[in-house]
Amino acid sequence: MTLHAISAPRLFDGVRYHNNAALVWQGSQIKQVLPIEQLPESIPCQHYTDSIICPGFIDIQVNGGGGIMLNSDTSPAAMQTICEAHRQFGTAYLLPTLISATPSQLAKALQATEQALNDNIAGVLGVHLEGPWLNPKKKGAHDASLFYAPEIESLEGLPWLKQGKVLVTCAAELMDTNVLRWLDQQGVILSCGHSNAQFDQLTEQKMASVSGFTHLYNAMSPFEGRSPGTVGRALLTDHAWCSVITDGIHVHPQSVLLAHRIKPEGKLLIVTDAMASVGSVDNKFELDGQTIELIDGKLVNNEGSLAGAHIGMDESVANVIRWGIEESEAIKMASTYPAQAMRCDDLGQLTPGYRAAATVLSNAYQSQAVLVDGIVY
215 in a known ligand binding site: yes
Angle (CA) 75-93-17 rounded to 5° is 175
Q: 286: annotated binding-site residue?
A: no
Tell me the catalytic residues.
273
Name the strand (E) or helix (H) holding 81.
helix 76-87
Give the number of other Cβ atoms within 10 Å of residue 230's Cβ. Answer: 30
Cα(197)–Cα(173) distance, rounded to whole angstroms?
6
- Indicate the DSSP class of residue 222: P
Q: Do the annotations mark residue 301 as ligand-binding?
A: no
Q: Is 169 helix (H, G, I), strand (E, B) or coil?
A: strand
The annotation status of 219 as a binding-site residue, yes or no, is yes
What is the radius of gyration, based on Cα positions, of the chain?
A: 20
Annotated binding residue at 224?
A: no
Q: In this structure, what DSSP letter does residue 239 have? A: T
Question: Does the annotation place 307 within a ligand binding site?
Answer: yes
ω before 222 within 30° of 0 (cis)? no
Known binding residue 47? Answer is: no
308 marked ligand binding residue? yes
**C-alpha closest to that of 51 among 371, 370, 366, 372:** 366
User: Exposed (0-12), middle (13-18) or buried (19+): which is 288, by Cβ within 10 Å?
Assistant: middle
- Is 194 annotated in a binding site? The answer is yes
Q: How many CB atoms lie within 10 A of CB 33?
A: 19
Q: Provide the annotated binding site for Zn(2+).
A: 130, 194, 215
Binding-site residue set = 130, 141, 194, 215, 218-219, 226, 250, 306-308
Annotated binding residues for substrate: 141, 218-219, 226, 250, 306-308
